[in-house]
Every structure is written in C-alpha cells, then in structure tokens.
Amino acid sequence: MNLYDAYDPFARVYNQHWGFFATKAYPILEHLVLEKLSPGCAVLDLCCGTGQLAAELSRRGYRTTGLDGSEGMIEIARKNAPDVDFVVQDARNIALTRKFAAALSTFDSLNHVMSLDELEQVFRSVFSVLDGGGYFVFDLNMEEGFRSRWCGSFELVEEDHVCVVRSSHDANEKTGRMDVTLFELDGSRWVRTDIPLIQRWYEEVEIKERLRKAGFEELQSFDGNEPIVEGSVHEGRMFFVGRKRDARQARSERHPDVLKELVTVPDSFFDPLPEEDLKSWEGE
C-alpha cells in the first residue's frame, strides 16, 4: 500500500462532485501563465486528480501530461482525457524525461504535503522538469480558508452512493481534517468506506522562501482580494507563481554587448617610437 491509496476509494465521488474546480480555476491560470506560453507547448498538470483540468488544457492545444499519486484518480482521468499522457508518480520525486513550459497544480493539492521540507522537495522536483523560462503556478488553502470552509458537515445523496463529509481544523497544528464516510451501492447491499483526508497550511512568507531555495524567481502571489481570484470557492485561497530562469538569458545578462560604437585611431598610432624617444623611455 502506498501513501496515496487512501484517495483511490474517493476518486469516483471526487470526479462527480469536485471535478468542477477545473472550470473555476482555468481563467485564473490563463491570466497568470497560460496566455504567456507558446501555442502547443508542453504543460504538466501536477496532482491532476481525475483529469478535468488536463482535459481542458488538451482541448486548448497544449501537449499535456497529468501526474498524480493515486492510481484510482488516474484511472478515471484517462477516461476523462484520453488524449493526455498520465503517470502515477509522487510529486516529491518526479521522474519524467520531458521538459515543460509550465507546471500547474490546482485545488489545494499541495496542502496535502505535510511539512515544509517536503513542500520544498516538491518545488525542487518541479524545477527539475521545467524548461528555462518555465512557469510554476499552484494554489494553496491559507489559514483563512480553513477557518471559513473547513468546519461543520454536509451530505451528498445520490441513488448509488451517499457521501457524508465532516470538516474541522486545528489552529495550533495548522492542519485541516476532512473525514469522509462513503456508502456505495454494490448490488443489493451498501458498502461503507471511511476516508480521512488531512491538509496543512503554511504562511505566505515561508512558501516563497522555499520557492526561492528551490531556485524559482519572479515570485508572485494572489488571493481573494484580487479580481481574478474572487468567488466563494476561492475564499482563503492563494495562487502562487514562480519562474525558472532561462540560462541563455542569464548568460546574455552577465556578458552584455559593450561594443556600442567604432573607435577610429590614426594610422600613425601603431608606428614605432623614434629612436631618441625610445632611449629616453628606457633610461627612466
């Protein structure tokens, strides 16, 4: 059993009830990063879940790769986006040969990383698969998001399943917990599955510090006070953008072209000195 097996039983319900987030996030991603990319470039959907965002990226012409740690999520993603390459891998240790113009991670996926050191490990892993000049954009639930949304309970009732969600947060531990109880109809009987999902929140300053340590530059962050992030689904959510420096650009910056104009010297400039001047100079 691997770390992400717990998400497998949740995949079908997630696909049906939470997959819509891709449509909410796409205009933000487009504004922050996608409109800056070349048509048809390679894009990584990190922690892609059941593939709704990957499907939209593919539809828009991007050569998309989806990566997630849950085999159950990826199985559904392959059906939602048949033109996308999907892989089951750990975001902390990405092993891909292709380089990407951008990496995207949405719907607070990286809040499931439970320590700053591991979060930095994800950042370094993403950095390693980006082209020079490539972008990394992701969103995280901040403390405000857990206070406003990770509290109370709700139910989703369908003909073939019932999903009960109870949410809470711990300000001292900086964690949010979502206890999901899932009842699914299997023939004539109902099968119960209990799924604990835990997230951790981080401070904006420490997130940016770890991005810098991983090598990212041009860091930006956007929260619900920005028009592009407004809406209840984004309450307490922050989007981060970082960029990998283009080595070719860096070299040109270190060695600027300083030859701005031709310098003309008289033809006699390189003539030998007269013998008497040479003797005088040697005797000094």
Residue corresponding to tokens 């600027």: 256
Q: 81-112 pLDDT, tens per residue?
A: 999 999 999 999 999 999 999 999 999 999 99
DSSP 281: H
The gap between the terminal CA atoms of the chain, to the nearest Å, is: 87
Average confidence score pLDDT of the chain: 89
Tracing tokens 């965002």 back to the chain, one arrives at: 53
User: Is residue 119 within 8 Å of residue 207, measured between CB atoms?
Assistant: yes
Residue 261 has pLDDT above 80, yes or no: no
In the chain, the percentage of residues whose pLDDT exceeds 90 is 77
pLDDT at 135 over 60: yes
For residues 37 and 30, what is the distance between their CA atoms, to the nearest angstrom? Answer: 9
86 secondary structure, DSSP code: E
Inter-CA distances, 280 with 140, 169, 271, 275, 276, Å: 78, 89, 17, 9, 6
Pairing of strands 161-170, 175-186: antiparallel
The CA-based angle 43-30-128, given to 5 degrees, is 30
User: Which one-letter amino acid corresponds to residue 257?
Assistant: D
Query: Quick one: 253 exposed, middle or buried, by C-beta within 10 A (0-12, 13-18, 19+)?
Result: exposed
Q: What is the rounded CA–CA span in Å between residue 165 and residue 180?
A: 5
Give the H or E element holding residue 157: strand 152-157
pLDDT at 279: 52
User: Cβ contacts of residue 251 below 8 Å, gap of 6+?
Assistant: none
Helix (H, G, I), strand (E, B) or coil at 168: strand
Q: Are the C-beta atoms of residues 229 and 137 closer than 8 Å to each other? A: no
How many helices (DSSP H) and strands (DSSP E) are in the chain?
9, 11
Top-confidence residue, 277 or 190: 190
pLDDT (0 to 100) of residue 255: 47
2.130.10.10, 3.30.420.40, 1.10.287.620, 3.40.50.150: CATH of 5-144+201-254: 3.40.50.150
Helix (H, G, I), strand (E, B) or coil at 16: helix
